[in-house]
Amino acid sequence: MPAYWIARSKILDPVAYKKYTDRIPGILKQYGGKVLARGGKYRIMEGPDTFHRFVVIEFPTLEQGVACFESPEYQEAAQFRKSGGGIVENVIVESGDATT
């Protein structure tokens, strides 16, 4: 069942953040990730105006998305944003409606 990695971010240092984002496409590919939306136009419908960049990545399974996030390659790349490049909230959610 597909899963979606959803990220909301605020870029603090564009140079450091780019060092992070430049590495991500190759890492995602290794885990079957497909970018559905990244950095496009958006409109906040409700909630705080904290984040200004939104990303949605599809993975074949929740496990592949989690494996990607926890991989040494991703964690190494993430150090660029964690070291002042930006603030990010990440969640990976499995598709479907668990309330039915």
Identify which of 13, 33, 38 has the alpha carbon closest to the alpha carbon of residue 73: 33
Average pLDDT on 44-64 reads 95
pLDDT band per the 50, 70, 90 thresholds, residue 99: confident
CA distances (Å), origin 6, targets 3, 86, 100? 10, 16, 23
Q: What is the pTM of this model?
A: 0.91
Residue 98 reports pLDDT greater than 90? no
Reduced to 3 states (helix: H, G, I; strand: E, B; else coil), residue 2 is: coil
| Residue in the block written with tokens 């990545």 | 57
Provide the percentage of residues in the chain whose pLDDT is more than 90. Answer: 91
pLDDT computed for residue 24 by the predictor: 95
Choose among 46, 45, 72, 74: nearest CA to 59: 74
Rounded Cα gap, residues 95 and 39, in angstroms = 22
The residue ranges of every structural domain in the chain are 22-31+68-82
